[in-house]
């Protein structure tokens, strides 16, 4: 930069020259200042543009990541792979993917706030859209916390301001578990003159006499194990953390004794389902059991027998009973279903086949209605890695049948049958004709050939729903019911004994039926244990059913 010219070195210059030179110098300084301002403005604008470009690049990367996560989530939940995942594995996979999606959405929201804050024009700053309000259940207790301003003195000097309204917001809080000891005191009274005996109130009845736990604690332990899938050893750790050091073996003793006491209730519920139903769902799931003689586990089974007539508007309450058996042979199915006559909805496992023949013991031959979801699943599983036009076409045809079912779910049996005869029967007939033609083109020894043969050989069972409005198209309801015992199995690994398997089955029956009837399991079990302790089992066992608790009978049954 050139140095300013010093006029003092030339005192003899004319005034006009000095004036002109001074004006020129001032103009140059003004030009330099304006150039500096423009350069600073350009630098600031470039910085803003660079910042916005960086924001855009980061935002695009986050959006791309979110789109990929959502696509993976949809593929896991709705894609063909969902047919191959164990339900418990599917839930865990979806849980982690939902967590990742929420994290990415939070990062996008934070970046959008930074972009809005960087906008120099206040009018262009758009506030972040508020989250959609969610209503918390009205049944939850409310604790109001009023936050007052530091001062309500009016600046104008008129005194305190007046309240003209309020803003309310709700947040969900948690109170940690708290254990307490209930001390029961029973005073004794006697005549002061010794003329009469002693008077004392009777001791309250307890489910486990001579033991520490209240009925509420027993219910909590049972639900934590069989509904929330926390094995007793983990519960013992949690209790110790809360200052209650109870050994796992003690908890096991409590659950074993309680399981024996609820057996009559579960047995009666099983008899009610069998005697009052013309259509039942049946399925089975593994229940590994420790074999002490070999030091290994053997495979036991929980057989689920479920009633749910809501699909055709039936009035009978839904329920499920699990039966533990040491195997999966057909003789166990015959034993469990002895005395039942009607239709069973099953997955075409061979153990049920002989129940539909005149050789069946324990009743007349049963009608077998096979599950279309299982047939669909076998086709998907047999699909080659590169895809198959046959499988894709089969799935589209099955989907058309399901759309008809969706439209009549909950309708009366006669209406369901009429619609099926009119709309579904032609579609099902065309499906099996088409499937038979495709099977002729595929090797019978291939996976796809075996999947098609699975349905073709069992057409009678797959068509049975068409002629009876009481029957559903699949057995998904019982599959959903066995998910909870399956989760318990994954967490507890195995039962320690066959009796432990029967204990699992009893609690799973009561808790599963509670869930089907919209009953909170802890509340039901607490009141059931109280009723059993007070001898209600000998009065009216029907009042102790979970569905009775759901429909208001609990005021009679559980308060006795």
**What averages of pLDDT result for each successive group of 10 residues across the chain (560 residues)?**
59 71 76 78 72 80 83 74 56 70 79 74 60 74 90 89 88 84 92 87 90 93 90 90 89 88 94 93 81 63 93 93 89 92 89 89 91 92 85 93 94 96 96 94 90 93 95 91 67 53 89 94 95 86 91 45
Write down the pLDDT at residue 530: 94
Give me the residue label for tokens 């301003």: 149
Write down the pLDDT at residue 16: 75
Q: How far apart are CA 335 and CA 263, in angstroms?
A: 18
The pair of three-digit structure tokens given for residue 206, joined into one six-digit string: 């307890």
Residue 531 resides in a domain? no
Residues belonging to the chain: 560
SS3 content of the chain, % helix, strand, coil (to 5): 55, 10, 35
Q: How far apart are CA 312 and CA 413, in angstroms?
A: 6
Contact 282, 303 (CB under 8 A): yes
Q: Find, among 315, 279, 307, 318, the residue nearest to 469 by Cα.
A: 279
Contact 526, 207 (CB under 8 A): no
Task: Give pTM, 2 decimals.
Answer: 0.76
Contact 205, 535 (CB under 8 A): yes
Q: Find, among 438, 479, 354, the residue nearest to 86 by Cα.
A: 479
Task: Using DSSP, state whether 287 is helix, strand or coil.
Answer: strand
Residue 532 resides in a domain? no
Write down the pLDDT at residue 517: 94
Residue 298 resides in a domain? yes
Q: How far apart are CA 212 and CA 206, in angstroms?
A: 10
Residue 64 resides in a domain? yes
Q: Find, among 517, 505, 508, 507, the residue nearest to 546 by Cα.
A: 517
- Provide the pairing of β-strand 188-190 with 198-200: antiparallel
Cα separation of the two ends of the chain: 103
Alpha-carbon separation of residue 188 from 199, 270, 372, 507 (angstroms)? 6, 46, 69, 40
Task: Using DSSP, state whether 429 is helix, strand or coil.
Answer: helix
Full domain range(s) for residue 39: 7-76+87-119
536 burial type by CB count under 10 A (0-12 exposed, 13-18 middle, 19+ buried): buried
- Buried residues in 335-344 as b, exposed as e (16+ CB within 10 A): ebbeebeebb
Contact 212, 475 (CB under 8 A): no
Residue 553 resides in a domain? no
Number of domains in the chain: 2
- Buried residues in 5-41 as b, exposed as e (16+ CB within 10 A): eeeeeeeeeeeeeeeeeeeeeeeeeeeeeeeeeeeee
Residue 321 resides in a domain? yes
Angle at the Cα of 408 from the Cα atoms of 407 and 409, rounded to 5 degrees: 100
Residue 449 resides in a domain? yes
Q: Find, among 410, 413, 416, the residue nearest to 311 by Cα.
A: 410
The pair of three-digit structure tokens given for residue 135, joined into one six-digit string: 């209503």
Residue 171 resides in a domain? no
Last residue of a domain, one of 464, 496, 528: 496
Write down the pLDDT at residue 491: 47
């Amino acid at each position: 930069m050139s140095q300013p010219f010093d006029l003092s070195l030339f005192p003899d210059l004319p005034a006009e020259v000095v004036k002109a030179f001074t004006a020129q110098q001032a103009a140059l300084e003004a030009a330099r200042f304006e150039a500096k301002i423009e350069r600073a403005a350009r630098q600031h604008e470039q910085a803003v543009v660079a910042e916005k470009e960086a924001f855009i690049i980061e935002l695009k990367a986050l959006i791309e990541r979110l789109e990929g996560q959502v696509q993976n989530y949809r593929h896991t939940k709705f894609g063909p792979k969902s047919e191959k995942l164990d339900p418990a594995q599917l839930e865990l996979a979806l849980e982690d993917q939902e967590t990742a999606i929420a994290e990415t959405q939070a990062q996008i929201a934070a970046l959008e706030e930074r972009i809005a804050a960087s906008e120099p024009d206040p009018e262009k700053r758009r506030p972040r859209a508020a989250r959609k309000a969610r209503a918390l259940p009205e049944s939850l207790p409310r604790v109001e916390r009023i936050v007052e301003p530091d001062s309500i003195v009016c600046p104008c000097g008129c005194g305190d301001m007046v309240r003209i309204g309020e803003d309310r917001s709700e947040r969900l809080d948690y109170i940690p578990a708290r254990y307490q000891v209930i001390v029961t005191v029973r005073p004794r009274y006697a005549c002061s003159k010794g003329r009469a005996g002693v008077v004392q109130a009777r001791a309250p009845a307890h489910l486990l006499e001579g033991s520490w736990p209240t009925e509420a604690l027993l219910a909590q332990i049972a639900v934590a194990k069989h509904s929330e899938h926390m094995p007793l050893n983990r519960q013992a750790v949690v209790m110790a953390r809360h200052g209650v050091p109870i050994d796992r073996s003690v908890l096991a003793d409590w659950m074993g004794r309680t399981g024996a006491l609820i057996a009559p209730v579960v047995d009666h519920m099983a008899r009610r389902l069998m005697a009052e139903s013309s259509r039942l769902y049946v399925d089975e799931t593994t229940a590994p059991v420790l074999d002490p003689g070999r030091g290994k586990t053997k495979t036991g089974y929980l057989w689920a027998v479920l009633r749910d007539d809501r699909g055709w508007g039936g009035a009978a309450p839904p329920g499920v009973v699990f039966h533990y058996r040491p195997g999966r042979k057909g003789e166990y199915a015959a034993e469990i279903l002895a005395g039942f006559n009607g239709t069973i909805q099953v997955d075409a496992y061979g153990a049920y086949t002989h129940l539909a023949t005149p050789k069946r013991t324990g009743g007349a031959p049963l009608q077998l209605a096979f599950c279309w979801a299982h047939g669909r699943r076998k086709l998907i599983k047999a699909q080659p890695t590169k895809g198959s036009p046959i499988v894709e076409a089969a799935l589209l045809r099955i989907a058309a049948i399901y759309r008809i079912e969706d439209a009549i779910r909950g309708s009366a049996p006669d209406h369901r049958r009429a619609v099926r005869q009119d709309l579904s029967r032609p579609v099902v007939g065309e499906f099996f004709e088409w499937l038979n033609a495709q099977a002729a083109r595929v090797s019978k020894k291939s996976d796809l050939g075996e999947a098609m043969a699975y349905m073709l050989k069992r057409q009678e069972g797959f068509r049975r729903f068409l002629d009876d409005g009481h029957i559903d198209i699949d057995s998904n309801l019982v599959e959903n019911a066995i998910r909870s015992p399956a989760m318990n199995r994954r967490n507890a690994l195995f039962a320690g004994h066959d009796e432990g398997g029967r204990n699992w089955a009893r609690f799973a029956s009561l808790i599963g039926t509670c869930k089907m009837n919209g009953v909170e399991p802890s509340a039901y079990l607490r009141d059931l244990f109280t009723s059993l302790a007070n001898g209600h089992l000998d009065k009216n066992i029907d009042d102790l059913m979970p569905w009775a608790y759901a429909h208001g009978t609990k005021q009679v049954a559980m308060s006795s």
